[in-house]
């Protein structure tokens, strides 16, 4: 087949001219050098911006909430009046055999030293409170919510340094004659979260690069070739972090979690695109004498599938703009920009780099023009022919297996929040444990009730005192035409008991005092975060499904095929979520799911899972003119190795999130990595091909391909 025939075999010259012009520019003998120079310049511009991203990261739960949330409105009201909104750091001392007079002196001295330290975000420390059992003492240090997170972290570090001079940091099983101390409260939790993200970029990038490099070495078995896609994906990562900086600078809430997910997503998806293009380029090198012609053919054949796959992921990510949670909403354009960078790197920069290096980059397995192509042979070809005979058994059996895995959803529960979301011991969790053992557990993070007008404050105080689960109510403090009432809960602020108390308090205050009476504070923030996450899950899922179905329909020009592919990916997601629920509780011992994990898991597993089906089914469609069953077997034989390799790379990159000390990122990493492996090994390998064979030519209805494949099948013997 000549290049000209190949170029126009699926359509007219006018429809192909724009694509041919772009392909010609990328594969030109002179323009490839311009592309390489432009890529290096882009990294030189984006690199310094990426270095400025960390100070702009925002990891405060309050910043994640929409402005309409009750807890956000309470903070806004405080900040808009003379009263400065603060978040308390709570210092707790304990000696299990009872505080001595020397201990009380140590507590008092530490309180005065903190005041004398003139820390930039702190105000006057509160009075020292002694526990009824005589074993503990505590005081709070209000810290302004208006300061930068970096300043908050430094203030908490300074407070901990001061209090550790006279006592030892708390341990799980302390000696009875030791004075323990811990610093927690909402400010301590925020500082610990900030510390967990400290150095995340360098650590995550380093581990990801090593894993991708090792996998590429194993896949390519070449001392040189593995470096080429790695260089291009590193360039894409640099460009994407420059975009993330611009988004953060323009007001989007870019969190440390967003940056971590962006890194693994760009490396995983970018490497996948590189594997697919390089595999097709290697194949075309056996058909063309000139490697420029081979790359042009590879881009024409594999480029549309890769571009459509990337566009599907980008559009699915942009659906997150509809989310109520600000960090999830910002994750959409952040990661969409990352995928766009990965596409440009692998469809423009990588081809130019491969062309500059020539065939020798594949050494020692250099493909030459005229080498025999083993189409339909190998393990994947044999497996495809096995599916022809066992197709119904295969898809029914796998559907049952995934359905059984989905039963693990009965073990699903929420419960992960900022207080219990750390995988290792942290000061804020230790402080909460000491508070719960000696004081009302909610004393470190009281609920804040905003009452409008102020004349209704006594009524609000009475309602709060009569609410089950409330330990104490402070007298109202004026706030302009409103009033603030602080309510201490009996339960720990992140417990389900505290959540029920806040829900009851909100309901009673709204019914008795008025709907304008709002409840804020740490527990209320967690309640609002969970509610917003549930809203986003209900909204994002159908939006993503509509986008994916529309893109598949446009690409495959079919109604049946997109429905089948999306159904298999959703089943894969449910099975992966069910297994994850069991693993998180029974193996890892996590308290539950972070509320954002199901949203992110669905988005990445559906969008990225459809990726592999796109790569498979576009090749199947290309081969189906010779018969529906033949098309499935040929497509599976041609793409089996490269797609499996791509799935392993993507799973490994997301698994890297597990090296970070936050439960939420570990859960996202495990869910996506496990789901990608399920999708790659079971769904794309066997379930989809078996269904495609069983459905036959009807899979491509209403396109003409259905009739052509039916006619071809009529003249082909059944295997």
182-218 pLDDT, tens digit each:
998 888 888 887 777 766 667 777 888 888 888 888 8
> Cβ contacts of residue 96 below 8 Å, gap of 6+?
135, 174, 176
Bridge partner list, 86:
144
What are the Cα distances from residue 99, in Å, to 4, 8, 161, 287, 421? Answer: 89, 87, 21, 84, 31
Q: pLDDT-derived band of residue 7, with 50, 70 and 90 as boundaries?
A: very low
Helices (H), 407-441: 427-438
User: What is the per-residue pLDDT for 171?
Assistant: 59
SS3 589: coil
Q: Check residue 172 and report its DSSP letter.
A: S
Query: Does pLDDT of 9 surpass 60?
Result: no
Give ∠ CA 77-81-85 in degrees, rounded to 5.
Answer: 65
As a whole number, mean pLDDT of residues 226-235 equals 90
Least confident of 181-195, 303-317, 488-502, 703-717: 703-717
Query: Does pLDDT of 82 surpass 80?
Result: no
Least confident of 155-164, 424-433, 552-561: 424-433
Least confident of 394-398, 508-512, 654-658, 711-715: 711-715
Query: Does pLDDT of 373 surpass 80?
Result: no
Q: pLDDT-derived band of residue 326, with 50, 70 and 90 as boundaries?
A: confident
CB 435 within 8 A of CB 138: yes
Query: Does pLDDT of 416 surpass 60?
Result: yes
Pairing type for strands 180-184 and 168-169 reads: parallel
Percent of the chain with pLDDT over 90: 33
DSSP string, 200-226: HHHHHHHHHHHHHHHHHHHHH--TTTT
Query: Does pLDDT of 552 surpass 50?
Result: yes
SS3 116: helix
As a whole number, mean pLDDT of residues 16-25 equals 75
Other Cβ atoms closer than 10 A to 383: 16
**Cα–Cα distance, 675 to 218 (Å, whole number):** 22
CB 302 within 8 A of CB 284: no
Q: Domains in the chain, please, with CATH?
A: 1-51+199-373 (1.20.1640.10), 85-197 (3.30.70.100), 376-421+555-719 (1.20.1640)
Query: Does pLDDT of 470 surpass 80?
Result: yes
Helix axes 31-51, 350-357, angle to 10 degrees: 130
User: What is the per-residue pLDDT for 8?
Assistant: 38
SS3 285: helix
As a whole number, mean pLDDT of residues 516-525 equals 90
Residue 708 vs residue 69, higher pLDDT: 69
As a whole number, mean pLDDT of residues 479-490 equals 90
User: What is the per-residue pLDDT for 513?
Assistant: 93
Peptide bond into 453 cis (omega under 30): yes
Query: Does pLDDT of 596 surpass 90?
Result: no
In angstroms, what is the C-alpha Rg of the chain?
30
pLDDT tens digits along 654-679? 888 887 788 888 999 999 999 999 98
Q: Check residue 347 and report its DSSP letter.
A: I
**Cα–Cα distance, 383 to 580 (Å, whole number):** 29
Query: Does pLDDT of 291 surpass 50?
Result: yes
Percent of the chain with pLDDT over 70: 92
User: What is the per-residue pLDDT for 43?
Assistant: 87
Query: Does pLDDT of 83 surpass 80?
Result: no
Query: Does pLDDT of 61 surpass 80?
Result: no
Query: Does pLDDT of 5 surpass 50?
Result: no
Residue-averaged pLDDT of the chain: 85
Closest residue by Cα to residue 285 from 277, 276, 295, 273: 295
Bridge partner list, 378:
none
Q: Check residue 490 and report its DSSP letter.
A: S
Bridge partner list, 478:
483
As a whole number, mean pLDDT of residues 448-474 equals 93
Q: pLDDT-derived band of residue 108, with 50, 70 and 90 as boundaries?
A: very high
Stated pTM of the model: 0.83
What are the Cα distances from residue 259, in Å, to 57, 209, 330, 345, 420? Answer: 8, 16, 11, 19, 22
Query: Does pLDDT of 687 surpass 50?
Result: yes
User: What is the per-residue pLDDT for 594?
Assistant: 84
Edge-to-edge strands of the sheet including 136-144?
129-130, 136-144, 86-94, 180-184, 168-169
Q: Kind and range of the H or E element at 153?
A: helix 149-163
pLDDT tens digits along 623-637? 877 677 878 888 888
Other Cβ atoms closer than 10 A to 213: 14
User: What is the per-residue pLDDT for 413?
Assistant: 81
**Rounded to 5, what percent of the chain is helix, strand, coil?**
70, 5, 25
As a whole number, mean pLDDT of residues 359-384 equals 76
User: What is the per-residue pLDDT for 16?
Assistant: 52
């Amino acid at each position: 087949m000549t290049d000209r025939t190949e170029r126009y075999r699926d359509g007219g010259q006018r429809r192909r001219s724009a694509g041919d012009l772009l392909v010609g520019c990328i594969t030109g003998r002179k323009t490839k050098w311009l592309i390489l120079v432009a890529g290096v310049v882009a990294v030189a511009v984006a690199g310094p911006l990426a270095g400025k991203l960390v100070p702009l990261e925002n990891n405060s739960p309050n910043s994640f909430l929409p402005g309409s949330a009750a807890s956000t409105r309470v903070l806004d009201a405080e900040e808009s009046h003379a009263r400065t909104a603060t978040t308390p750091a709570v210092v707790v001392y304990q000696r299990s055999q009872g505080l001595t007079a020397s201990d009380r002196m140590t507590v008092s001295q530490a309180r005065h030293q903190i005041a004398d330290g003139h820390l930039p975000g702190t105000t006057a420390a509160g009075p020292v409170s002694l526990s009824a059992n005589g074993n503990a003492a505590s005081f709070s240090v209000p810290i302004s919510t208006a300061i930068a997170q970096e300043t908050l972290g430094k203030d908490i570090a300074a407070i901990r340094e001061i209090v550790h001079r006279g006592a030892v940091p708390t341990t799980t099983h302390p000696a009875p004659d030791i004075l323990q101390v811990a610093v927690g409260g909402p400010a301590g939790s925020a500082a610990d979260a900030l510390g967990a993200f400290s150095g995340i970029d360098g650590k995550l990038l380093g581990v990801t690069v090593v894993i991708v490099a090792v996998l590429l070495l194993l896949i390519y078995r070449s001392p040189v070739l593995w470096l080429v896609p790695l260089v291009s994906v590193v360039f894409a990562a640099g460009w994407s972090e420059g975009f993330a900086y611009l988004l953060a600078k323009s007001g989007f809430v870019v969190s440390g979690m967003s940056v971590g997910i962006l890194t693994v997503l760009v490396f995983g998806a970018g490497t996948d695109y590189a594997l697919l293009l390089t595999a097709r380029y290697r194949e075309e090198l056996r058909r063309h004498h000139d490697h420029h012609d081979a790359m042009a053919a590879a881009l024409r054949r594999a480029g549309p599938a890769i571009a459509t796959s990337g566009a599907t992921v980008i559009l699915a990510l942009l659906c997150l703009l509809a989310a109520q949670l600000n960090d999830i909403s910002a994750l959409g354009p952040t990661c969409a920009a990352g995928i766009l960078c990965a596409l440009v790197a692998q469809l423009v920069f990588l081809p130019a780099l491969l062309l500059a290096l020539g065939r020798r980059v594949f050494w020692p397995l250099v493909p030459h023009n005229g080498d025999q192509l083993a189409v339909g042979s190998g393990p994947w070809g044999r497996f495809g022919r096995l599916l022809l005979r066992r197709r119904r058994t295969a898809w029914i059996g796998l559907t049952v297996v995934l359905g059984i895995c989905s039963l693990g959803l009965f073990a699903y529960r929420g419960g992960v929040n900022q207080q219990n979301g750390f995988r290792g011991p942290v000061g804020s969790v230790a402080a909460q444990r000491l508070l719960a053992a000696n004081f009302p557990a909610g004393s470190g993070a009281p609920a804040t009730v905003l009452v409008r007008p102020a004349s209704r404050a006594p009524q609000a105080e009475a309602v709060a005192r009569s609410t089950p689960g409330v330990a104490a109510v402070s007298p109202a403090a004026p706030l302009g035409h409103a009033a603030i009432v602080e309510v201490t809960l009996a339960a720990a602020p992140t417990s389900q008991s505290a959540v029920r108390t806040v829900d009851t308090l909100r309901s009673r205050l709204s019914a008795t005092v008025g709907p304008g009476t709002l409840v804020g504070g740490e527990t209320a923030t967690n309640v609002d975060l969970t509610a917003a996450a549930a809203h986003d899950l209900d909204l994002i899922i159908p939006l993503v499904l509509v986008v994916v179905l529309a893109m598949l329909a446009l690409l495959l020009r079919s109604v049946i095929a997109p429905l089948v592919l999306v159904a298999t990916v959703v089943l894969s997601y449910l099975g992966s979520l069910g297994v994850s629920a069991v693993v998180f509780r029974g193996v890892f011992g996590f308290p539950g799911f972070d509320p954002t994990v199901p949203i992110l898991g669905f988005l990445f597993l559906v969008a990225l899972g459809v990726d592999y089906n796109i790569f498979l089914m576009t090749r199947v469609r290309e081969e189906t003119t010779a018969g529906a069953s033949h098309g499935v077997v040929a497509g599976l034989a041609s793409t089996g190795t490269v797609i499996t390799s791509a799935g392993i790379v993507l799973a490994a990159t997301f698994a890297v999130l597990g090296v970070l000390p936050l439960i939420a990122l570990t859960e996202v990493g495990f869910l996506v990595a496990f789901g990608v492996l399920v999708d790659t090994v079971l769904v794309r390998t066997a379930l989809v091909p078996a269904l495609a064979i069983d459905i036959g030519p009807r899979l491509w209805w209403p396109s003409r391909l259905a009739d052509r494949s039916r006619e071809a099948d009529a003249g082909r013997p059944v295997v």
